A and B are shown apart, each in its own frame.
Chain A
Amino acid sequence: MNCETVQRLMLLASSGELSGWQRWRLARHRSICPACRQAEQEMLRLVDTARQALPEVAPGAGLLTAIRRAAETELRRRPLAGNAPRFSPALRNTALAVALALLVVAFGWSLRLERSPSLPAVASAPAVQETDELFTTELFPESEDLAVLSAEDVFYVERFIDGTGTDTINALDLELLWLEGLAI
């Protein structure tokens, strides 16, 4: 594994987001690379320093009061959860039919919505092929123990995408994954 990749794993480690597999790889690289060990210490200290250096700011009391008022107004405006008004059976059946119809419409609508990205400025990135990336992110089954994999588990595998790469990392790792039937 190259040092740049490792240093990204270190960031994920700092936020508690490493998979078991990634953690193992990070530990293995740490044990053989003094530069990355030092870089990790530096990174943690820098983050710590920056965290302390960020100015402590908070919204004013007036703003908090305004939000509270808006919250109260909203509660008055709509019925409380769990306090639905009672209907006669006939009315309830009509309501159910209407609700069902609405549900069907809403479902169709949600399918349309899914196709239109909600974030305006930051366009959604392609799932995998980002050539400016150091490694691709792909979904593979993952588990703390490779022997007890479950299909819904997910982890990230680093892989060369430019096809060159002499500082390749993980021919062996990928091979292992193929052997395990986890990589495609």
Chain B
Amino acid sequence: MQQKEVMRSEPPTAEVSDFERLSQYRSGQVEALAELVEKFKRPLYGFLMNMTERADTADEVFQEVWLRVIRHSGRIEERNFSGWLFRIAHNLVIDHWRRQRPAISLEKENEDGLTLKERLADLQPLPFERLDGEQVKRRVAEAVKHLPAEQKEVFLMRLEGDIPFKEIARIQGVSINTALARMQYALAKLRQELKQYRETSPSGPGKEAQP
């Protein structure tokens, strides 16, 4: 019941206030737009930094995203403001990649030779709580960096932007199943990475965990 209400009532709660801010901006209150920028600056910038891996590019795209919001603020037909924001960001990141790396593949999640089934079969518990916090952070950040672009995007849209999977699927132009599979692959890789860390780290907590 609770979850359903969350899903169904997206627009009436948080999203409505985002749109209200936008309409306040349209009627002349610059401060309302500044509040929107403030609210989304971390998730959006975090997404862009992770996707582009360059601060100057993230800066450039961040600015362009908001310029488009400003220019098109009167013409939004989306129900979900954050979804709209990340959709603009998605398109601009793709434009950026096209300029940088014209041959980039957006469909390489199965290239690691492991099926999802094989990955999911590994259900041994990971004692995250016993890993050193800073090392885990570095490890996770590194693993995220090496995810295929489309998996990384799903992962970051969920974790940074809290964008629903249905919205992510719409943004990426894929089915919801594909978006979910991408998230599963991303999580499986992170999991693998942390597991390897535990197994290989000489001074790591993994050793301590053994009898």
A-side residues, CB < 8 A to B, are: 3-4, 7-8, 11-13, 15-20, 23, 35, 38-39, 42-43, 45-47, 49-60, 63-64, 66-68, 70-72, 74-75, 80-83, 117-125, 127, 130, 133-137, 144, 156
Contact = CB atoms under 8 A, between A and B. Distances in A.
B173 A16 contact: no
23 contacts: A4-B120, A15-B164, A16-B3, A16-B7, A18-B3, A35-B123, A46-B128, A47-B187, A50-B187, A52-B137, A59-B41, A59-B58, A64-B34, A64-B38, A66-B63, A68-B37, A72-B30, A81-B23, A83-B27, A119-B172, A120-B94, A121-B106, A122-B173
B177 A137 contact: yes
A115 to B, nearest CB: 14
Nearest to A119: B173
The 10 closest A-B pairs by CB, nearest first: A53-B140, A16-B6, A53-B137, A81-B26, A8-B180, A133-B177, A122-B173, A124-B173, A121-B94, A16-B3
B50 interface: yes
Contact of B26 (A4, A42, A58, A80): A80
Given A56-B46, A60-B59, A51 B136 contact: no
A173 to B, nearest CB: 17
A64 B177 contact: no
B89 interface: no
A130 B3 contact: no
A48 B97 CA distance: 29
A149 B42 CA distance: 40
A164 to B, nearest CB: 15
B191 A46 contact: yes
Contacts of B98: 120-121
A75 B136 contact: no
Given A59-B45, A59-B62, A75-B28, A46 B177 contact: no
Interface of B: 1, 3-4, 6-7, 23, 25-28, 30, 33-34, 37-38, 41-42, 45-46, 49-50, 58-59, 62-63, 66-67, 70-71, 74, 90-91, 94-95, 97-98, 106, 116-117, 120, 123, 125-126, 128, 133, 136-137, 139-141, 144, 150, 155-156, 158-160, 162, 164-166, 171-178, 180-181, 183-184, 187, 190-191, 194
B140 A120 contact: no
Contact of A74 (B27, B34, B71, B176): B71
Given A13-B3, A46-B126, A122-B150, 5 more contacts: A46-B191, A54-B50, A56-B42, A81-B23, A137-B175
A50 B125 contact: no
A45 B128 contact: yes
Contacts of A46: 126, 128, 187, 190-191, 194
A117 B177 CA distance: 20
The interface centre, meaning the residue of B95, B106, B156, B187 with most chain A CB atoms within 10 A of its CB, is: B187
A82 B120 contact: no
Given A4-B117, A70-B67, A120 B136 contact: no
Contact of B42 (A23, A57, A122): A57
A35 B117 CA distance: 13
B46 A49 contact: no
A50 B190 CA distance: 8
The interface centre, meaning the residue of A19, A74, A144 with most chain B CB atoms within 10 A of its CB, is: A74
A55 B63 contact: no
A54 B157 CA distance: 12
A23 B71 CA distance: 41
B164 A135 contact: no
B46 A16 contact: no
B3 A39 contact: no
